[in-house]
Structure 1
Amino acid sequence: MEWTSPQLRSLVELTRRGTVTAVARSLGYTPGGVSQQIAALERSTGMELLRRVGRRVELTDAGVTLAAHAERILATEAEAVEALERTRHEVSGTLRVGLFATAAAEILPLALRRARETCPGITVRSRDMDVDDVYDAVAGGSVELALGLDYPDVPLPRDASLCVLPLSRERFSLAAPAGDLPGRRTVALHEMRERGWILPPAASYYGRAALTACRRAGFEPRVLHEVTDTAATLALVETGVGVSLVTDLMLRLRPSQLDVLGLSDTVERHIVAVCRSVARHRPTVAALVDVLRAAACAPAGEQGRQPAGEGGVALG
């Protein structure tokens, strides 16, 4: 029998996610691409691995058995990659990295410049994605490392197969229309109970974290504009239609004429790196995590937006 890692990974992800559509979203394939991977696996094994039940599909006994072994095969493959990297005289290799928009704009450029200086043998291929999808992307194998956000009020799900590594911590402030709160430098969340809010959807981690903070302060925010994009949120605050929560990193995305007030309430988010546990000590992964941590903690003046083009570090 012959099979490929993408075929085995598609089968394993199907046991986790239950639908071909969810697997496709996790792995960055089309649903048809996932079906082709499973079909090729069935041809190789000569056995039916999936059966259709109404509109759903489920694994056969053979599919369940192979999926269990596939997890071990993929883990062994990751260990082999780490072992091979350690035989090299320098830290070198290619890493696929998943990034949410703010990290791509504000952290990655500086990280690439620093990587070019400290570990020029590493090539980075990046992929922009929704911040709530990075955890699944690493679990599914579509990227080997990802930058994500973890909220103490709504923590990421913890999976023994994945490792969540803290990079930096940010405290939220309040963004308000310029001149809306004259003479104030700090404010408590409960004082904003009557204001209109600009927040992300409640189904997102950030949305749930914001709602939790407001509810802890004793009120339900009156969300007038449900917005995911940070730059759009800042623009709406600037026009005077509501208030929102912001961090220093978020404010770098768009020069805005608005007031930023400190919150007496503690509302935080953590910038994290996510990788598979078996890959945590891969020389390339460990080196890039160190570079990303330094970039995430760098003062605003050190951030840059020029992609690296020489020295082996590429933005793909």
Structure 2
Amino acid sequence: MLDSRHLATFHEVVRTGSYSAAARALGYTQPAVTQQMKALERTVGLALFVRVGRRLKLTEAGEALSRHTGVILGNLSAAQQQLKGLAGLRAGRVRVCAFPSANATLLPEAIAQLTVEHPGIRIELLEDEPPESVQRLVRGECDIALTFSYPGLQVEVPTEVVELPLTEDLLTVLLPAGHPMARRQAVRLSDLSGERWIAGCPRCRANFLHVCAEEGFTPDIVFSTDDNLAVQSLVMAGAGVALVPALVLSFLCHAKLTGRAVKPHTRRKVSAYVLREHCRVPATILVLDALKAAAAARDGC
């Protein structure tokens, strides 16, 4: 295998035209340069130089190696600089797969912090609901998966995956501002048992049916969609009401919508998942810390 030190010395010998000139340029002794070139010739199994008078001339093998040496050394230098940047948190790409309301709230807040403090970090945003997002993490399609879980509806986590809890997201009822229940600070779902409902993703819908059963009724679900903006528009149009996470209230697009807490309080847990082996990757750690800070800031509001 070619030694990068020998290649660097060979490159300097070719540039300067002699062992002695290369030794001066590199700060080596001439015998050291001679020994390195002999070692390189043993490695390739061919002579690289012949003497013509007092100068060295490349052999055909030497010409061939010379054509590649600059590229090889340039690539090695670029790789070293990139690794140095990654280790020093000046560069790196982190792929985050999150559910829609996290992509609209926690991620932008975390990215805003990273952009100021570590502008070389690049975040690639992907979108998926749990448990698919965790499966994408295991398949190597993302570096961090942001997911949510409900009591009794936990996300199954493989042994190679680590869970980092971020926050608890209160569930709220989304109502038109003119709805009679909008005057209350909090409502019981049973008080809305006669309403038409818009349900969310399959996991959210399963939890919704469960909490309604605990309140003693089966909801009349007229629409199901995992599009938060569609849910808002349907409620605004009077098509029904909806049970949504408090995160959604952060980006209401209709001024005449309002959210009210549910009695008794119902929450979902929001967590970040990462492969155990990635817990030591500097850029990944940095993004996780930013997500924790964004979640903590929301908890403090």
| TM-score normalised by the chain length of structure 1 | 0.62
Q: Does 1:136 align with 2:135?
A: yes
SS at match of 2:274: strand
**Paired position in structure 2 for 1:146:** 145
What is the CA–CA distance in structure 1 between the aligned matches of 2:109 and 2:233, rounded to whole Å?
Answer: 26
- Residue 188 of structure 1 deviates from its aligned partner by 0.9
The answer (yes or no) to whether the contact 2:195–2:240 under 8 Å persists in 1 is yes
SS of the residue 2:265 aligns to: coil
Q: In the alignment, residue 286 of structure 1 is paired with which amino acid?
A: I
Residue aligning to 2:192 = 192
Alignment of 1:31-50 (within 5 A): none
Separation in structure 2 between the aligned mates of residue 249 and residue 226 of structure 1, nearest angstrom: 19
Q: Cα gap change, 1:211/1:290 in structure 2, threshold over 3 Å: closer, same or farther? A: same
Residues 173, 260 of structure 1: 8 Å contact kept? yes
Using a 3 Å threshold, how does the CA distance of structure 1 residues 200 and 90 change in structure 2: closer, same or farther?
A: closer
The CA distance in 2 between the partners of 1:125 and 1:236, in whole Å, is 31
CA contact (8 A) 1:176 1:244 kept: yes
Secondary structure of residue in 2 paired with 1:250: helix
C-alpha displacement at 1:99, in angstroms?
A: 2.6
152-161 or 247-256: bigger deviation? 247-256
CA distances 1:200-230 after superposition (whole Å, capped 9, x unpaired): 25xx211111111111222211101112211
- Is the Cα–Cα contact under 8 Å of residues 131 and 156 in structure 2 kept in the other structure? no
* 1:254 aligned partner, one-letter code: L
**Separation of aligned partners in 2, 1:109 and 1:259:** 23
Residue 253 of structure 1: how far off its partner (Å) = 2.7
Does the Cα contact within 8 Å between 2:85 and 2:91 map onto a contact in 1? no
Q: How many pairs align?
A: 216
Q: Pairwise mapping of residues 254-273 of structure 1 onto structure 2 (< 5 A)? A: 254-256=252-254, 257-273=256-272
2:228 matched to which residue of 1? 230
Query: 2:146 is paired with a residue of what secondary structure?
Result: strand
- AA matched with 1:210: F
Percent identity, aligned pairs only, is: 25
Q: Which residue of 2 aligns with 1:108?
A: 107
Aligned to 1:77: none
Give SS of 1:228's match.
coil
In structure 2, distance between residues paired with 1:252 and 1:171 = 12
Distance in 2 of aligned mates of 1:145 and 1:93: 14
Post-superposition offset of 1:233: 0.7
Q: 1:90 to 1:180 in 2, by over 3 A?
A: closer
Whichever structure has more helix as a proportion of its residues is 2
Distance in 2 separating the partners of 1:127 and 1:185: 35
Question: Which whole-Å CA distance do the structure 1 matches of 2:129 and 2:84 have between them?
Answer: 30
Structure 1, unmatched stretches of 5+, are: 1-83, 303-316
Task: Give the CA deviation at 1:197.
Answer: 0.9
Structure with max Cα Rg: 2
Bigger mean CA offset, 210-219 vs 252-261: 252-261
Please say if residues 173 and 261 of structure 2, whose CA atoms lie closer than 8 Å, have aligned partners that are also in contact: yes
Per chain length, whose mean CA-contact separation is higher, i.e. which structure has more relative contact order (CA < 8 Å, sep 6+)?
A: 1
**Partner deviation per Cα, 1:145-170 (whole Å, 9 max, x = no partner):** 12222222311112211112111211
1:299-314 matches, within 5 Å, as 299=298
* Closer, same or farther: CA 132–232 of 1 in aligned 2, 3 Å: farther
Deviation, 1:91, is: 6.3
Q: What residue in structure 1 maps to residue 248 of structure 2?
A: 250
Offset at residue 276 of structure 1 (A):
0.9
Q: Is 2:113 aligned against 1:126?
A: no
Report if the CA contact (8 A) 2:92-2:120 is conserved: yes
Q: How many angstroms apart in 1 are the aligned matches of 2:89 and 2:235?
A: 49
> Does the C-alpha gap of structure 1 residues 259 and 117 become closer, same or farther in structure 2, counting only changes over 3 Å?
closer
